[in-house]
């Protein structure tokens, strides 16, 4: 399968096809970043994965929570964008820039125009989940908390009190420039806005911190990649993926165009793949019959890698997803990965008909998250203190998975 993935997509790493993974998971935990003379070449992917640290990942999430829920259209959202940009620059991530767009919320749709709540597919089956997905097991109602009094922390309640207003919006990105093929790139993204009167620690501080940590590691001047990698922190995800849509609208047509001519600079390299990260930490299983939850990660916890089977590039996206699953198998230290075909309601959606696009997350978006498996989703309880080190480590394993996958595809070398 690995060979078919690489050949079908034309992916070559450092001049040769990537070999099939075979290292046991325990090896990923214990192997040193350096090897003694005579033991063979150092694996640069393993070296980079070893630089991902739980405490640094947690610290980045904690830094994001100082801005509360970072709801779009507020001063706290703008302050968070400034902080993210400053962090990226401190890492040395090149070409830190912003996308600017205007957000004017559409008027509410009348009930008659709303999508049916229980879609019927060709077989006649009714699927009541998000986007027409199946629910599994015990379900729990979901929604967005809009009641400030549901947040017991008075300081956090005050921090989140400013309402969103329509108008100009911004989102920040930076780029690792490829040495051999700067005109091609992989996009690694996560949305930085949230809502619900919490700290948006999981949704989506966990994904934002993951992207920032990868930007930090790849920006080390000793790290080189043949192809470019762009790290994007989307805004306005919670209002309908507006930040990602603005990026696509503004930059899709610029792909692969040298500017100025003859400069060897490509403001928008050709997209080779888009990898999104959205809610990375909570996999405690379905709610119990009485509505309570297991306080610990379930034994079956894993990193979910999703593609959308209805996308125009579904076949290529599927192969990309399995490539990342193989990267997890070889390089992640604690949690395995599973591939699903129902990617929905996240910032990879605007890209999925233009480039192979996948999403990494804690649960299956439709069957688990949409069925209420995460009680912190859009709730006041989505605060840093809610989560344990096991939860944070699930997010770290997703970071290991993406770092390993992108490093191979982009052709990483360490000088």
Q: pLDDT at position 139, please?
A: 76
Q: For residue 298, what pLDDT band results from cuts at 50, 70 and 90?
A: very high
Tell me the average pLDDT of the chain: 88
What are the tens digits of pLDDT across the range 334-363?
Answer: 999 999 999 989 999 999 999 999 999 999
Q: What is the pLDDT of residue 26?
A: 44
Answer yes or no: are the C-beta atoms of 76 and 65 closer than 8 Å: no
Q: 156-164 — which CB contacts under 8 Å span 24+ positions?
A: 156/68, 156/197, 156/198, 156/199, 156/383, 157/197, 159/67, 159/68, 159/76, 160/68, 160/69, 160/71, 160/76, 160/197, 162/74, 162/75, 162/76, 163/74, 164/71, 164/72, 164/73, 164/74
The pLDDT of residue 365: 83
Q: What is the mean pLDDT of residues 19-43?
A: 51
Task: Write the Ramachandran bin of 344: left for phi over 0, alpha for psi from -120 to 50, otherwise beta.
Answer: beta
Percent of the chain with pLDDT over 70: 84
**C-alpha span between 377 and 354 (Å, rounded):** 29
Q: Can you give the pLDDT at residue 117? A: 55
pLDDT digits (tens, 9 = 90+) for 225-270: 999 999 999 999 999 999 999 999 999 999 999 999 999 999 999 9
Which overall architecture, per CATH, does domain 2-9+45-103+118-414 show? 3-Layer(aba) Sandwich (3.40)
The pLDDT of residue 41 is 87
117/62: higher pLDDT = 62
Q: Please say if the pLDDT value at position 308 is more than 80.
A: yes
Other CB atoms within 10 A of residue 312 CB = 11
pLDDT at 86: 98
Residue 175 has what pLDDT? Answer: 98
| Residue 277 confidence (pLDDT) | 98
- Domain locations in the chain? 2-9+45-103+118-414
Return the pLDDT at 255. Answer: 98
Maximum average pLDDT range among 123-127, 297-301, 404-408 = 404-408
What average pLDDT does this structure show over 92-103?
95
Question: pLDDT grade, residue 14 (50/70/90)?
Answer: very low
**Helix axes 54-65 and 75-91, enclosed angle (nearest 10):** 150
Q: Specify the higher pLDDT residue, 80 or 109.
A: 80
Residue 23 has pLDDT above 50, yes or no: no
Q: What is the pLDDT of residue 78?
A: 98
Q: Which residue has the higher pLDDT, 102 or 35?
A: 102
Amino acid 134: pLDDT:
61
Instruction: Please report the pLDDT score of residue 122 as a whole number.
Output: 55
In this prediction, residues 382-404 reach a mean pLDDT of 98
Q: Tell me the pLDDT tens digit for each residue of 198-231.
A: 999 999 999 999 999 999 999 999 999 999 999 9
**pLDDT > 60? residue 115:** no
Rounded to an integer, the average pLDDT of 31-50 is 74
pLDDT at residue number 397: 98
The pTM score is: 0.88
All residues at 6 or more sequence positions from 404 whose CB lies less than 8 Å from its CB, including other chains: 45, 48, 49, 327, 328, 330, 331, 332
Beta pairing class for 227-234 and 181-191? parallel
What pLDDT shows up at residue 370? 83
- % of the chain at pLDDT higher than 90: 76
Whether residue 40 is predicted with pLDDT greater than 90 in this model: the reply is: no
Residue 216 CB neighbours (<10 A): 20
Is residue 164 predicted with pLDDT exceeding 60? yes
Write down the pLDDT at residue 12. 41
């Amino acid at each position: 399968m690995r060979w078919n993935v690489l050949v079908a997509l034309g992916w070559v790493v450092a001049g040769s096809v990537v070999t099939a993974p075979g290292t046991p998971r325990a090896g990923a935990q214990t192997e040193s970043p350096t090897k003694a003379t005579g033991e063979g070449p150092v694996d640069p992917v393993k070296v980079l994965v070893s630089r991902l640290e739980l405490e640094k990942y947690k610290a980045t999430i904690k830094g994001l929570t100082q801005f509360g829920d970072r709801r779009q259209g507020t001063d706290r959202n703008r302050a968070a964008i400034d902080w993210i940009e400053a962090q990226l620059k401190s890492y040395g991530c090149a070409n830190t820039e912003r996308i600017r767009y205007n957000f004017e919320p559409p008027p509410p749709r009348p009930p008659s125009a709303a999508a049916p709540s229980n879609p019927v597919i060709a077989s006649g089956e009714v699927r009541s989940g998000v986007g027409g997905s199946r629910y599994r097991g015990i379900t729990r109602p979901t929604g967005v908390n809009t009641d400030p009094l549901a947040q017991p922390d008075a300081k956090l309640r005050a921090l989140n009190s400013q309402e969103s207003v329509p108008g100009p919006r911004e989102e920040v990105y930076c780029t690792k420039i490829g040495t051999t093929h700067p005109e091609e790139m992989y996009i690694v993204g996560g949305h930085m806005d949230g809502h619900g009167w919490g700290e948006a620690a999981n949704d989506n501080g966990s994904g934002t911190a993951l992207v920032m940590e990868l930007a930090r590691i790849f920006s080390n001047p000793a790290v080189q990649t043949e192809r470019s990698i762009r790290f994007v922190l989307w805004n306005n995800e919670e209002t309908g993926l507006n930040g990602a849509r603005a990026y696509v609208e503004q930059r899709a047509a610029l792909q692969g165009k040298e500017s100025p001519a003859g400069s060897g600079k490509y403001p928008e390299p050709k997209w080779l793949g888009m990898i999104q990260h959205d809610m990375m930490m909570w996999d405690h299983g379905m709610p119990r019959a009485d509505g309570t939850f297991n306080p610990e990660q379930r034994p079956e916890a894993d990193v979910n890698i999703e593609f959308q089977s209805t996308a125009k590039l579904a076949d290529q996206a599927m192969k990309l997803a399995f490539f990342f699953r193989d990267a997890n198998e070889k390089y992640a230290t604690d949690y395995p990965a599973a591939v699903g075909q129902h990617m929905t309601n996240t910032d990879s959606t605007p890209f999925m008909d233009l480039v192979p696009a996948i999403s990494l997350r804690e649960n299956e978006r439709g069957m688990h998250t949409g069925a209420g498996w995460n009680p912190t989703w859009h709730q006041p309880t989505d605060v840093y203190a809610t989560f344990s080190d096991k939860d944070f480590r699930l997010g770290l394993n997703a970071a290991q998975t993406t770092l390993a996958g992108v490093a191979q595809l982009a052709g990483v070398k360490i000088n």
